[in-house]
Amino acid sequence: MASFGELLCNHTDELVNRWYEWWKKEGPELPEMTEAVIKDHLPIQLRVIGEALREGRGSESPRKLWEHHRRLDPEQRVRDEVPIEEVVREYAYVIEVVRSWLNERDEQVSVQDYSFFSLAIFELAAESARRFAKYQAEQVARDRSEYVAGIAHQLRTPVTTLSLHVQQLERGHGSPDPRAVERLRRTVDRLSRLVDGILRLERFKPDELPVHPEALAPAQVIGQLVADYEHDASRKGLRLDISVNRSARMQVDRDLLVDALGNLIQNAIKYTEKGFVRVTLEEQDDEVVFKVEDSGPGISPERQRELFRPVRPGQPGGVGLGLTIAFRAAVAQGGTLELESEPGRGSTFLLRLPRAVRAREGVTGGLVETSLGNDASPRVH
């Protein structure tokens, strides 16, 4: 009669297929993600356990079986966003499948061998959880480091501009040039808005942001923002156009509107090397649509799916904090942020806001993780 170790080694494929059928019958929550996580590695893992039993190591601790990285790949599971509880449940299916398979065949195995097998599967799930926790902690540390670096990068430009304006004033004689004073004021305003936006990003979730609507003319807000960024655009030789209905009125939070539009305009200027950046406004029934269009390089479909993911400013090709702040400002007011873009044909961001935004007092629960939930995902076309 074959030993338990030989049974596992000789019938690996059959057991994996049985596990797969069991897994499908149970209805996994994330079938497209979890199938390969276990199935691709299970044959190796079953043979590792079988070989250990066949070699008489059933009295040893099975923990050492999983010290070799090649025998499982939890990092792939993390990259695929498969929850650890899903993996633990699927390894539990392995034990159930092997137990029922042994009963069907009326195979007699020793308590010691079966205990070793069960503990080996348990240790496999535990090792996956340990690596998952380590990987996640390292990822959080990397993201936080990149996040802080992104904040520093965002602050550097207005601080440098502010320093240059102050030096110009110091070199002047007599009364300061009113134009220089106005540029200084606008730079200070930009810096203040950026700091306020970052603080709101850190302190509140999108659905907890305080919203204080006021009656205003959106054309006036757009005009002020365009004036603030006109110097940046002209320095790159870009046209900064406006097409708005000056009679339009809405009830909206001015600070959040400036957060959203200001960052969209800044991003458009930043990533457009030639041509134009255009800001338009359309009134549609009970909502107002702000469009920020550019003649930049456009965004690939793959990159579009990454744009609104959790803040990781240090990633290659990342857009920093701007889009995150803009998106949260839209969601907080019951609006949406959409993207229309094709490589080589520029990009258009559409900020849709209700004509009359509802007021809300902020709910402060301490710092929140700077990520965007799936319930508030933007649309891309």
Q: Residue 61's pLDDT is what?
A: 76
pLDDT per residue as tens digits for the range 266-286: 889 989 999 999 999 999 989
pLDDT per residue as tens digits for the range 130-161: 877 887 777 777 766 666 666 666 676 677 77
Where does the pLDDT of residue 79 fall: very low under 50, low under 70, confident under 90, or very high at 90 and above? low
Q: Residue 39's pLDDT is what?
A: 73
pLDDT per residue as tens digits for the range 40-77: 788 888 998 999 899 888 777 777 777 654 555 555 66
d(CA 153, CA 312): 13
237: pLDDT strictly greater than 80: yes
Q: In this prediction, what percent of the chain has a pLDDT beyond 90?
A: 36
7: pLDDT strictly greater than 90: yes
Residues 6 or more apart whose Cβ sits within 8 Å of residue 173: none
In contact, 314 and 150? CB cutoff 8 Å: yes
Where does the pLDDT of residue 35 fall: very low under 50, low under 70, confident under 90, or very high at 90 and above? low
Where does the pLDDT of residue 264 fall: very low under 50, low under 70, confident under 90, or very high at 90 and above? very high
Q: Is 344 left (phi over 0), alpha (psi -120 to 50) or beta?
A: left
Q: Residue 371's pLDDT is what?
A: 34
DSSP 242: E
4: pLDDT strictly greater than 60: yes
User: Among the listed ranges 112-116, 228-232, 242-246, which one has the minimum average pLDDT value?
Assistant: 228-232
Domain locations in the chain? Answer: 4-141, 153-189, 190-380
Q: Which amino acid is at 248?
A: A
Q: Which residue has the tokens 């250990």?
A: 52
CATH classification code of 190-380: 3.30.565.10
342: pLDDT strictly greater than 80: yes
Q: Residue 312's pLDDT is what?
A: 44
pTM exceeding the 0.85 threshold for the entire prediction? no
Where does the pLDDT of residue 88 fall: very low under 50, low under 70, confident under 90, or very high at 90 and above? confident
Q: Residue 164's pLDDT is what?
A: 73
Distances in whole angstroms, Cα of residue 346 to Cα of each of 70, 274, 296, 298: 44, 11, 5, 4
Alpha helix (H) residue ranges in the chain? 4-10, 12-26, 31-39, 42-54, 74-79, 84-105, 111-171, 178-203, 218-235, 254-271, 301-307, 322-332
d(CA 134, CA 108): 40
